[in-house]
Amino acid sequence: MTLKLVYFAWVRERIGRGEEEAQPPPEVATVRDLVTWLKTRGEEYAHAFETDGLVRAAIDHVHVKPDAALAGAREVAFFPPMTGG
């Protein structure tokens, strides 16, 4: 599975890039699994996801919960709670 990952605001700053391609192992089935896997990849990811449940996610431009399945996903976004308006 190849995913495009995109990051915004302080999540982007902590990870140090706005987007990347990732190939998580097959046991990574949900958004929560993906976060757990990313946190093993380096300090920058551990820092971005250090507070459980704070960072929000979207799959292909639609908000999702941590238990959302990654099957069929092309682009997964991670970002802080939104502050528009």
Partner 1 sequence: MTPTVSVQREDFDLATEIDALTAGGRDAGAVASFVGLCRDEGGRLAALELEHYPGMADAELRRVAEEAAGRWPLGALTIIHRYGIIRPGGRIVLVAAAASHREPAFAAAAFMMDYLKTRAPFWKREHLADGTLGPWIDAKAADDAAAERWEE
Q: Is 81 in the site for partner 1 (CB under 8 A)?
A: yes
Only segment of 21-29, 30-38, 65-73, 76-84 that touches partner 1 (CB under 8 A) = 76-84
Q: Is 44 in the site for partner 1 (CB under 8 A)?
A: no
Q: Is 53 in the site for partner 1 (CB under 8 A)?
A: no
Count residues binding partner 1 (CB under 8 A).
Answer: 16
Tokens of 69: 């399945």
| SS3 of the chain | CCEEEEECHHHHHHHCCCEEEECCCCCCCEHHHHHHHHHCCCHHHHHHCCCCCCCEEEECCEEECCCCECCCCCEEEEECCCCCC
Among 17, 63, 65, 74, binds partner 1 (CB under 8 A): 63
> Cβ 26 to partner 1, closest distance in Å?
27
Q: Is 65 in the site for partner 1 (CB under 8 A)?
A: no
